[in-house]
Structure 1
Amino acid sequence: MKVTVVGAGNVGATVANVLAVKNFCSEVMLVDIKKGFSEGKAMDIMQTAHMLNFDTRVIGVTAEIGDENGYAPTAGSDVVVITSGMPRKPGMTREELIGVNAKIVKSVVDQALKYSPDAIFIIISNPMDAMTFLTLKDSKLPRNRVIGQGGMLDSSRFRYFLSKALQEAGYPATPTDIDGTVIGGHSDKTMVPLTSLATYRGIPVTQLLSKEQLDEAVAQTKVGGATLTGLLGTSAWYAPGAAAAAMVEAIALDSKKLMPCCVYLDGEYGEKDLCIGVPVLLGKNGMEKIVEYKLEGDEKAKFDESVAAARNTNAKLGDALK
C-alpha cells in the first residue's frame, strides 16, 4: 500500500505520522509546495521509527507551483489524501474558504491523477463537502473513489461530548464507550448529530441524559471545530489527521468498516447530484455501499436543511466547475 498525503502542514503531517505508526503502508509520500518542508517533516517522523517500532517509509516530496514533474515520486499511489488549502482562522466559517481552496484542490487532484490514475481520493480541504463535489465533477472519477472526511471527525467529537455529559451525569464514560454518528454537511450550522441512535455500552443515551444535556452535547459538537480554532488560532489537526488515517486503514485492509463519510448521492436518502455525509462501508474499492438510516422527525428535517445548505455552497463553486 502506497499512500500520498498532499500538504505537510499540521493535518497532513499528522495523517502521515498516524499512518506510519499503524504500520500497514509500505510508503507514505508527504508532498508540499514549500521546499524542504515535507522533507523535514518526513525525516522527523522517520526518526521515531525505532522507538515506535514501525517499518513504513515516510518520504518528503517538494512539488513547487509550476513543476510539472513534482508529483512523479507519488506515482502508483493507492490512496491520495488531500489536505491542501488555507486553514480556518478564528471567526471564519469553512464556507469562506471556497474561492481560494477550490483552485488549490483542482490543481492538486489533476497533478496526483497524472501519476496515480487508479487512486482513491480522500478530501479533507475545506469546505469539505464542496471540495469533494468539485473533485468528483472535475476529475470525472467514479463516485466510489472520491470520499470526503467530515463525518468521521464530527462523529468522534460527538462521542467526546457525549462522554463528557455522561461523566457529569455520574457514568464513568470515555469516548470509546460511545457509539454515535454525525451525518449531513461538515458545517457548524448544518451537521446532524443523531442522538436517537447514540448509545453508551449498548444503552441508548436518551435513557441516561435529559433533553437539555443531549441538546448541549449536540451544540458543542456542531461548533467543535470553531471552538478549537478559537483556542488554537488555527484549525485542529490531531483528530482530523487520525480520522483520515482511519479511513485509509479501512480501505487498505479491505475491512468494510461502517464510517460516516462525504460521498456522492445518486438517489440514496432521496437525493441526487451532491456530496454529503452519510454512513458508508469502506473497503479496497473505496466507498463500497451507502447505508440508509431511517430518519424521522426533527433529524429528517435537519438532514433536509443540511442538503439544501450543501447545494447552496456548491452553487458558489461557479467557474471552478467549468
Structure 2
Amino acid sequence: MSQNTKIVLIGTGAVGSTFAYTVLIKGLANELVLIDANEDKAMGDVLDLNHGLMLASPMKITLGGYEDCAGADIIVIAAGAAQRPGETRIDLMNRNVAIFDQIIKNVTAHNDSAILLIATNPVDILTQVALKLSGWPKNRVIGSGTLLDSSRFRYLVAEKLGVDPRSVHGMIIGEHGDTEVPAWSALSVAGVNIDELPAENPWHLNDEAKAEITEGTKRAAYHIIAKKGATYYAIALSLARICEAILKDQRSILPVSSYLEDYQGISGVCLGVPSIVGRNGVEQVVELPLTHTEGEQLRHSATTLANFLNEIGFA
C-alpha cells in the first residue's frame, strides 16, 4: 500500500471476526485493531489472525482499547445486543441505543476525522443513532445499507437467468429489512434492460419470477439463521467492499445507508440508496429513475423507519 491505513473494529462476534478475517485475506489495511467487551474472545481472534500472516498480506493486527481509535481511517461498529426471548423490538433498540451511546462517546473522545461504518442491525436505525450521537458530518457516518441485499438479489436473478452474478446490474434500495425495494426498472444484464424484454425472450422475468426473487431476497437472512444461527460471510464481504472503496478512493457506486435530504421526496432518515463512495465516505447520492410504484414503495420504507425513529426519540 502506498500509505498507512488503519481500520478499527468494535465488536468481534460472528460478523466482526469474519470481517477481520476478510480484511486480512484482502490485505485492505496496514493496521487492524480489534476492540470488544470480551477481551479474551478478541485476543483469541487477534492470535488466530496473526498466525496466518505468513500466508497473507503484511499487517499489524492487535487487541486494543478505544484510545486506539486515534488515527483510524475507518471505525467499523459490529457490536450490539441480541434479541432476548419475548423482547419487543423497541426494548431491543433501547438496549442497543444505550450500547451505542457508550461506544460513540468513547470513539469520538479519540477521533474526529474517521469514517464510521455501521454493521449492527437494524442498520439504518443505528446509522441514524450513530449520526446523531457523534455529531459528525452525514457523509462520514455510513451503514452497510442494502449492499448485502443487492448481492443476494443479483445472485437470485443470475440463478434464474443462468449467468454470472457479476454480469447482473441491479439494486435493492430502502431499508435493510422487510420494506426493502427491488429496483426492477433499473435491472440490466450486459446492458440489456430486463424489465423491457418481451415475454418470448429467454431472459424475460414474469411477475411470478419477480415475486419469487423478491421474496427470496427478503427472506434470505431468516432462512440462513434458521439453518445455522447467524449470517456473517456475505455481510463481512459487503463491509470489506465498502472499506476498499473508501481506502482506495474508488468512487464506487454502492447502495449504502446514509442520511437523506430530499431524495425522491424523502428527508430525515438513513436509507440504502446508490451512493458514490470514496475517501470522504458518501461523496454523493445518486437518484435512480424509479417508476411510480417503486418510488411509492421507497417512501413507504422511509415512513416506516421514520415512525420507529420517532418512537425511540431519534427522528
Distance 1:164 1:92 in 2: 37
The partner residue of 1:295 within 290, 294, 298 is 290
Distance 2:237 2:288 in 1: 25
SS at match of 1:137: helix
What is the percent sequence identity of the aligned residues? 32
Distance 2:255 2:85 in 1: 26
SS at match of 2:287: coil
**Equivalence for 1:19:** 23
**Equivalence for 1:216:** 212
**Equivalence for 1:64:** none
Distance 2:260 2:37 in 1: 33
Do the aligned residues in 2 keep the contact of 1:97 with 1:126 (CA within 8 Å)?
Answer: no
**Equivalence for 1:178:** 168
Distance 1:28 1:90 in 2: 35
* Aligned positions of 1:82-121 closer than 5 A: 82-87=77-82, 97-121=92-116
TM-score, length basis structure 2: 0.91
Distance 2:224 2:83 in 1: 10
* Aligned positions of 1:299-314 closer than 5 A: 299-314=294-309
Alignment gaps of 5+ in structure 1? 62-69
Distance 1:247 1:239 in 2: 13
**Equivalence for 2:232:** 237
The partner residue of 1:56 within 56, 59, 77 is 59
Alignment gaps of 5+ in structure 2? 198-202
The farther-off stretch of 76-85 and 309-318 is 309-318
SS at match of 1:155: helix
**Equivalence for 2:6:** 2
Do the aligned residues in 1 keep the contact of 2:266 with 2:299 (CA within 8 Å)?
Answer: no
Distance 1:307 1:48 in 2: 43
TM-score, length basis structure 1: 0.89
The farther-off stretch of 78-87 and 253-262 is 78-87
Q: 1:90 Cα shift?
A: 9.9
Q: 1:93 Cα shift?
A: 9.3
**Equivalence for 2:270:** 275
Distance 1:27 1:262 in 2: 26
The partner residue of 1:135 within 130, 151, 155 is 130
SS at match of 1:311: helix
Distance 1:96 1:304 in 2: 26
Do the aligned residues in 1 keep the contact of 2:32 with 2:60 (CA within 8 Å)?
Answer: yes
Q: 1:191 Cα shift?
A: 0.4
CA deviations 1:49-88 (Å, max 9, x no partner) are 222x311222123xxxxxxxx3113321111010101246
Q: Which amino acid aligns with 1:55?
A: P
Change (3 A) 1:59 1:252: same
Do the aligned residues in 2 keep the contact of 1:95 with 1:127 (CA within 8 Å)?
Answer: no
Q: 1:295 Cα shift?
A: 1.5
CA deviations 1:255-299 (Å, max 9, x no partner) are 000000111012222222111111100111111001011222221
Q: 1:240 Cα shift?
A: 0.8
CA deviations 1:240-260 (Å, max 9, x no partner) are 111011101100000000000
Distance 1:223 1:93 in 2: 20
Matched, 1:262 2:257: yes
* Aligned positions of 1:184-203 closer than 5 A: 184-188=174-178, 190-203=179-192
Tell me the matched-pair count. 304
The partner residue of 2:148 within 142, 147, 153 is 153
Distance 2:15 2:292 in 1: 36
**Equivalence for 1:286:** 281
CA deviations 1:78-136 (Å, max 9, x no partner) are 11010101246899997773122111122111111211221110111111111111111
